[in-house]
Structure 1
Amino acid sequence: MTVPDPAEVPAGPLLLRPWRPGDLDDVWSAMQDPALLIRNASSLDGSRASAEEWLARRTGAGERQFVPWAVTDAAAGARWGFAALPVELVHAVGNTASGRVAEEAGSTSEGRLRRSYRYGDGVEHDELLWARLAEDDVPDLSTRS
């Protein structure tokens, strides 16, 4: 199934948008964080070349099964995503920030996937699976900044 190109979605003070080639410096800067390198594919080594490859996979056209966004507001992204696909989020157990994003988007914790992904450290880690259905209540973000 081909997923439609994501549109820009205003989300309060943030803008949810597709990745752009001009994001390279920010991607490369983020890749200097050792925790990010461990939680991503082993092809990431912190080099500018690996940042370029990573970004190219997210900016290219063609068939894809997910929509990569550059700046995320979880609830706005989930609302847009229901028009095309069910929304699931999977993250490393130790990545509590991603868990907070899923929870704030109104997702339900579905369970633990044991040794489901080999991260950059070469070890298969457990991940947590979250999901949100179209009929789930939309979280009230009016009280959040």
Structure 2
Amino acid sequence: MRGPTDPWAILASMPKLEPVEITAGKLHLRPWIPADIDEIHAACQDPDIQRWTRMPTPYMQVDATSYVTEFAPRQWEQGHGAPFAVLDATSGSVLASVALMRVTDDGLAAVGYWCAPGARGQGVVTQAVGVVGRWAFHTLGIERLEWTSGVGNWASRRVAEKNGFTIEGTLRRGLVLHGTRLDCWIGSLLSDD
């Protein structure tokens, strides 16, 4: 019998996340759409994106298509995540990806991100992570937002620190990337930080 504390019952009862669009200054965040497939595929050819994320390597057009048309919509529909395309608000070009992941109904979530090579060094991901964090805290009621990254990914760590994440330590072999278990940093941002 499944009671109210059964974790499977909790997951089964998670509400759908309604897709939203957020404009913040020069950025526009929205769910991924099929028109983004070519740009996401091109950006994800970058060696740093492939090195530090869990995406398939090599990253093929079919991977971008599957992500945009199957995985991302399913995350919204099942209430497990909110994958956002980060766009230039004027041109509409894809600059980055910021995703709220592993959303639970007890107030926990994680954040993950990557930045297209041409948009780096402009504060795009820092601003987008801040926008998604505020939305998660104020709209979804998230209480703890977690960030992890492989040790050595200083660009990712700078984004987390600029957004006020407390670096809590290093998880020994806490992350698997491309079949290799690596040490990773972990940090958190609380709703009342």
Q: Say whether the 8 Å CA contact 1:88–1:130 is kept in structure 2.
A: yes
Structure with greater proportional helix content? 2
Indicate the residue corresponding to 1:142 in structure 2.
none
Question: In 2, distance between residues paired with 1:110 and 1:6?
Answer: 31
Q: Say whether the 8 Å CA contact 2:52–2:150 is kept in structure 1.
A: yes
Indicate the residue corresponding to 2:177 in structure 1.
119
TM-score, normalised on structure 1? 0.79
Correspondence 1:99-138 to 2 at 5 A: 99-120=157-178, 122-136=179-193
Indicate the residue corresponding to 1:69 in structure 2.
84
Identity of aligned residues (%): 33
The one of 79, 83, 96 equivalent to 2:154 is 96
- Root mean square deviation of aligned Cα: 2.1
Match of 1:69, SS state, is: strand
Indicate the residue corresponding to 2:95 in structure 1.
none
After superposition, the Cα gap between the structure-2 partners of 1:42 and 1:102, relative to the gap in structure 1 and judged at 3 Å, is closer
Question: In 2, distance between residues paired with 1:42 and 1:104?
Answer: 25
Greater Rg, structure 1 or structure 2?
A: 2
Indicate the residue corresponding to 1:54 in structure 2.
67
Question: In 2, distance between residues paired with 1:67 and 1:5?
Answer: 9
Indicate the larger mover: 79-88 or 39-48.
39-48
After superposition, the Cα gap between the structure-2 partners of 1:34 and 1:13, relative to the gap in structure 1 and judged at 3 Å, is same
- Residue by residue over 1:43-90, the C-alpha shift from the partner in whole angstroms, topping out at 9 and shown as x without a partner, is 342211122223331133521423222215121111101132232122
The count of residues paired between Structure 1 and Structure 2 equals 135
Gaps of 5+ in 2: 1-13, 87-124
Q: Say whether the 8 Å CA contact 1:78–1:87 is kept in structure 2.
A: yes
After superposition, the Cα gap between the structure-2 partners of 1:102 and 1:5, relative to the gap in structure 1 and judged at 3 Å, is farther
Q: Structure 1 runs of 4+ off > 4 angstroms?
A: none
After superposition, the Cα gap between the structure-2 partners of 1:119 and 1:45, relative to the gap in structure 1 and judged at 3 Å, is same
Indicate the larger mover: 89-98 or 25-34.
89-98
After superposition, the Cα gap between the structure-2 partners of 1:81 and 1:95, relative to the gap in structure 1 and judged at 3 Å, is same
Question: In 1, distance between residues paired with 2:15 and 2:184?
Answer: 26
- Residue by residue over 1:65-122, the C-alpha shift from the partner in whole angstroms, topping out at 9 and shown as x without a partner, is 23222215121111101132232122222222221221222211122122122212x2
